[in-house]
Structure 1
Amino acid sequence: MSTKPHQYEMKASELGCVLISYNFGVGILTLPRDLALSLDTSDGWMTVLLAGFITLLLVYFCVTLQKHFIRENVFEYLLKGPFSKWIAFPLVLLFLVYFMLVAAMVLRYFGLASKMYLLDQTPTEVLVMVMLIISAYAASKGIEGIIFLNILFVPTIILALSSVIVLNIGNAQVEKMFPILPEGLFPVFEGVFVPLFALNFFIPLFFCLVFYLIKK
């Protein structure tokens, strides 16, 4: 299953599975509560739409940027330069710290949710350890192992998401969306960072697009 670096060509469906698996997680589960706490109005849906638009712009930026590099991502390109490497090192360190913090938070929520709803007799430490072992094993196989693990998760994610949507159709209350902008636009822009954390699926593009755009 091993291949040389950047020789593996990712399909569009595989890239979609990676983005879906990355996006639908803890951020989506905690978004309604966090958004309700940060906003005192009924404009949460507008904040989500604004965050989605910003995310699409960031995706466009990532794709456009990657098209200028062949068989390497932006970090590898910067590391080759005598001066630009001083920009690459802080960026790599920033991403490393970010992923470590996100992994810690996701594992914590995963352990609590699994213990609360599924395996109430299993220690949280065991649940977290199992998830870490599975993730480490997938990462040891390179990009192909990570993609394969994400493909396994996608059917479950789609099934759970579809079930939640269908089962809650009767509970939808459109009148709760009004009044619109009772306190102006400022609360909408102020609370946009909450859904941006949940819709941060553009981040894997910095690393995955190099495998997708090899022959594009």
Structure 2
Amino acid sequence: MNKRISVSSRQMATLFLSFLTGSAIVNIPAPLTGAAKNAAWMSLWMANGLGMLLLFCILYLHRKYPDLTLIQYSRQALGRVMTVIIAVPFLLIFFDMLADIVGDIGGFFKSTMMRETPTYVFHILVLFTAAMTVRSGIEVMARMFTLLVITIFMFSAVVMLLMIPNYNVELLMPLLPDGFKPVLHGAYIAWGFPYAEMILFSMVLPFARPDQEPLGKFMFVVLLISGISLTLVIVCTIMALGPLAANIKFSLFTLARMIELAEVIERVESVIGLALIVGSYMKASIVLFAINLGLSQLFRLQDERILIFPITFVALLLSLTMFRNDFEFMEHVGTVWPLLITVTGVVPILLLTIVTAFKSRRKQESS
């Protein structure tokens, strides 16, 4: 986890893709369709556009401070006191994010595949695996996640292709039966999950090697790929399930259950279940990596691995106690989370961007 350990621009983009799309490809259709109905894909692209602006700010700060994380360049731009004021809530929302990711995996198993097994079993297994992955370092994560993210996209594409006989294009209409306000509501949800969450990469980008390949170009391409893939999943879900798409939480898993071709290819939902688990595991690993790095830098620790298992234990307790039922979880993700991450995460990024731009301009004028 030393900064001398680095990954290429392509590997960093792969980490970014696994973070943005890994769990969202299974989870995003239901809440977005519930809010915006058939115009859910419009909400997604509105949030994607805002994500491009946020990514521009993150890459601008990375270009100005190429070897520093947000905690480190905040000390240079704002001072120690302001850094603590910004960093504490900034890192706390990552704890919330990690608990939500693990809780989602437990909820998936409890509601679909292994209903008699206590959820803490799944939480412990996922968090322990993520902790061991983080201890292995970002190079191992980048190499392994490249293969896993390809597997997720391949499984999802196969399911959507096999569902072609069940699609009904007429279900995509009407587009805006209740006006444009539901689209804004959907954009609010999609902004919180997954696009505003990219602020986490302000902690990870310094590990990208300064090579000849343009990191910014790859990151924006990944953002477009994420938007296209999530749009395809949303549209396919609506064409297959119609109004029911808003009421089924793991809609891609349900699509896989519906596949039945010549009594030979059927009951393939296990591959989508695997995609959800793998996608959430990759995202949880990246979040745990950022939390550990941020706390180590905030407290100026020499051994950056010493906090991995304590952080994992705290995340386990949060995942088991934060929500009493799925309704509270969905209420938090759809209503509270977008506002929370905007105030505690996006606003500090914008503040640092403005301060850095102002200081750079003043320095140029004085020179």
Does residue 185 of the first structure (1) align with residue 180 of the second (2)?
yes
Tell me if the contact between 1:138 and 1:149 (Cα under 8 Å) persists in the aligned partners. Answer: no
Q: Separation in 1 of the partners of 2:167 and 2:113?
A: 27
Does residue 56 of the first structure (1) align with residue 52 of the second (2)?
yes
Gaps of 5+ in 2: 213-367
| Residue 69 of structure 1: how far off its partner (Å) | 0.8
Match 1:23 to one of 20, 23, 26: 20
Match 2:9 to one of 12, 23, 44: 12
Q: Separation in 2 of the partners of 1:71 and 1:77?
A: 9
Q: CA-atom RMSD, angstroms?
A: 2.6
Match 1:167 to one of 162, 165, 173: 162
State the match for 1:144 in structure 2.
139
AA matched with 1:71? D
CA deviation vs aligned residue, 1:1-44 (integer Å, no higher than 9, x gap):
xx6x32123113321321222123444433222123323x5322
| Residue 152 of structure 1: how far off its partner (Å) | 5.0
CA deviation vs aligned residue, 1:129-156 (integer Å, no higher than 9, x gap):
0111111112223333443453353233
Match 1:203 to one of 199, 204, 213: 199
Tell me if the contact between 2:35 and 2:183 (Cα under 8 Å) persists in the aligned partners. Answer: no
TM-score, normalised to structure 1's length? 0.81
AA matched with 2:171? K
| Residue 206 of structure 1: how far off its partner (Å) | 0.8
Match 1:76 to one of 72, 77, 80: 72
Tell me if the contact between 1:12 and 1:212 (Cα under 8 Å) persists in the aligned partners. Answer: yes
State the match for 2:171 in structure 1.
176
Q: Separation in 2 of the partners of 1:154 and 1:173?
A: 29
Q: State percent identity of aligned pairs.
A: 22
| Residue 116 of structure 1: how far off its partner (Å) | 4.3
| Residue 121 of structure 1: how far off its partner (Å) | 5.3
Match 2:63 to one of 56, 61, 67: 67
Q: Separation in 2 of the partners of 1:70 and 1:108?
A: 34
Does residue 131 of the first structure (1) align with residue 126 of the second (2)?
yes
State the match for 2:39 in structure 1.
43
| Residue 67 of structure 1: how far off its partner (Å) | 0.4
Match 2:31 to one of 31, 34, 59: 34
More helix by share: 2
SS in 1 for 2:4: coil
SS in 2 for 1:8: coil
State the match for 1:108 in structure 2.
103
> Cα gap change, 1:213/1:36 in structure 2, threshold over 3 Å: closer, same or farther?
same
Flag the structure with more relative contact order, 1 or 2, with Cα contacts below 8 A and sequence separation at least 6: 1
AA matched with 2:19? Y
Q: How many residues are matched?
A: 211
Tell me if the contact between 1:71 and 1:214 (Cα under 8 Å) persists in the aligned partners. Answer: no
State the match for 1:98 in structure 2.
93
Tell me if the contact between 1:59 and 1:202 (Cα under 8 Å) persists in the aligned partners. Answer: yes
Tell me if the contact between 2:8 and 2:211 (Cα under 8 Å) persists in the aligned partners. Answer: no
> Cα gap change, 1:123/1:75 in structure 2, threshold over 3 Å: closer, same or farther?
same
SS in 1 for 2:38: coil
59-68 or 28-37: bigger deviation: 28-37
